[in-house]
Amino acid sequence: MNIDIGLIRRSWSLVEPVADQVTQHFYGRLFANYPHIREMFPPAMDLQRDRLLHALTQVVLNLEDGAGLNDYLGQLARDHRKYGVQPEHYPAVGSCLVAAMRFNAGGAWLPAYDEAWMTAYNYIAEVMIQAAEQDAVQTPPAWIGTVVAHEVRTPEIAVITVEPDHPYPYRAGQYATLQSAHWPRVWRPYSIANAPRQDNLLTFHVRMVPGGWVSTALMHHTRPGDSLLLGPPRGSLVLDRASTSHLIFIAGGTGLAPLKALIEESVWVPDRPTIDLFHGVRRSGDAYDNEDLQRLRSQHRRLRIVHAVSDDPEGWRRHSAVDALEYHRIVPDGDVFVCGSSEMVRVTANRLLGLGVPFDRIHTEFAPGAAPSLAVL
């Protein structure tokens, strides 16, 4: 990789404060110059802009980490197959991206930055094209999933089980992007709530967001027999099977889904670790998965489950999942996995650091330096 990282970072610092303008300019230019590419994108572009920005930031931050960057780009490339991205689209994206940065740099852009970015971009494109080609030999760009069960567990949460039309190779803790027939070309990530199973079924825990396109369609307009599209598996929240003898899982709401998959997976860890699961919900009625968690506990003798309720006006003790960990005097002396809203993950990770848990023992989907999860160019 012959990329001038110094030039990339210097030029990025010029445009980072106006990154929103850069992405708007980029898409405007791309769609004006290459109108056929517009068809590959969803009607509303807001999330798409965030994703481009996120992907760019991750690339800029991880340039020194060759293996990590390649792994991330590989995931990105596999994911892009579902949009119908072809090798001939890459030069169009590269030239519009550099032009958008140059245009928004307030006259401070140097010709050397053009060259540095094109070298970096050509490298990125090469890695992605190769990864997509390799992937195409074995797997489809997207899977058609048939909904085989749809359980409304609370007024806001549904548990949906899907049977993909082909084997879906993934690791416990990963997520899939889903597309509902109600919102063509709109993909949203949802964690897979079970470890890989012989029957190939995938379960998702969906919380409906008020006004949310895909979550509302999944909650209210999806029934057994319906089809969903599934993108390839993504994400880095996976278990190291040579892990510690004590695993702690801290979930907020439907952040339970990937952690449940990891608990199922933990039966393969040598010497069966002790597991503490803390599931935090706002109100006691939001604890949507108690029955299944009881079943899981009956299969894992070393699994302890603690529920924490943070906002129940009638609850006699109100606390978050990480409060519960302290209250029960559990010493976080092993790997700790955290999943929930980004705010919950941020607060919990800070509390864990304060309790002396080493940084590299705290596992989240959004850990700095880990392969990011949202990036879709």
Applying CB under 6 A, which residues contact ligand FAD?
47, 175, 188-191, 205-207, 209, 211-216, 254, 257, 365, 373-374
What minimum distance in Å lies between the beta carbon of 370 and ligand FAD? Answer: 12
| Cβ distance to ligand FAD smaller for residue 75 or 266 | 75
Residue 31 · residue 13 · CB < 8 Å: no
The edge-to-edge listing of strands for the beta sheet with 227-230 is 188-191, 175-180, 227-230, 143-152, 157-164, 202-207
What minimum distance in Å lies between the beta carbon of 148 and ligand FAD? Answer: 18
What minimum distance in Å lies between the beta carbon of 254 and ligand FAD? Answer: 4
| Cβ distance to ligand FAD smaller for residue 8 or 208 | 208
Q: What is the CA radius of gyration of the chain?
A: 22
| Cβ distance to ligand FAD smaller for residue 194 or 215 | 215
| Cβ distance to ligand FAD smaller for residue 120 or 195 | 195
| Cβ distance to ligand FAD smaller for residue 1 or 209 | 209
Distance CA 356, CA 84 (A): 46
| Cβ distance to ligand FAD smaller for residue 150 or 188 | 188
| Cβ distance to ligand FAD smaller for residue 22 or 214 | 214
What minimum distance in Å lies between the beta carbon of 303 and ligand FAD? Answer: 21
| Cβ distance to ligand FAD smaller for residue 99 or 201 | 201
What minimum distance in Å lies between the beta carbon of 338 and ligand FAD? Answer: 13
Distance CA 83, CA 105 (A): 30
| Cβ distance to ligand FAD smaller for residue 102 or 153 | 153
Task: Classify residue 126 by its DSSP letter.
Answer: H
What minimum distance in Å lies between the beta carbon of 277 and ligand FAD? Answer: 16
What minimum distance in Å lies between the beta carbon of 83 and ligand FAD? Answer: 17
Neighbours of 223 (CB within 10 A): 8
Q: Concatenate the DSSP letters of all residues of 347-376 into one string.
A: HHHHHHHHTT--GGGEE-TT-TTSPPS---
User: Residue number with the shortest CB distance to ligand FAD?
Assistant: 212
Q: Concatenate the DSSP letters of all residues of 157-194 into one string.
A: EEEEEEEESS-----TT-EEEEEETTSTT--EEEEB-S
Residue 127 · residue 70 · CB < 8 Å: yes
Residue 55 · residue 76 · CB < 8 Å: yes
| Sign of the C-alpha dihedral computed for residues 9, 14, 42 and 146 taken in this order | positive
| Cβ distance to ligand FAD smaller for residue 104 or 194 | 194
Residue 45 · residue 341 · CB < 8 Å: no
Which tokens is 59 given? 């690339």
Burial 170-193 (b: 16+ CB within 10 A, else e): bbbbbbbbbbbeebeebbbbbbbb
What minimum distance in Å lies between the beta carbon of 214 and ligand FAD? Answer: 4
Q: Distances from the Cα of 323 to the Cαs of 192, 352, 359, in angstroms?
A: 26, 10, 19
Neighbours of 70 (CB within 10 A): 18
SS3 259: helix
What minimum distance in Å lies between the beta carbon of 364 and ligand FAD? Answer: 10
What minimum distance in Å lies between the beta carbon of 89 and ligand FAD? Answer: 24
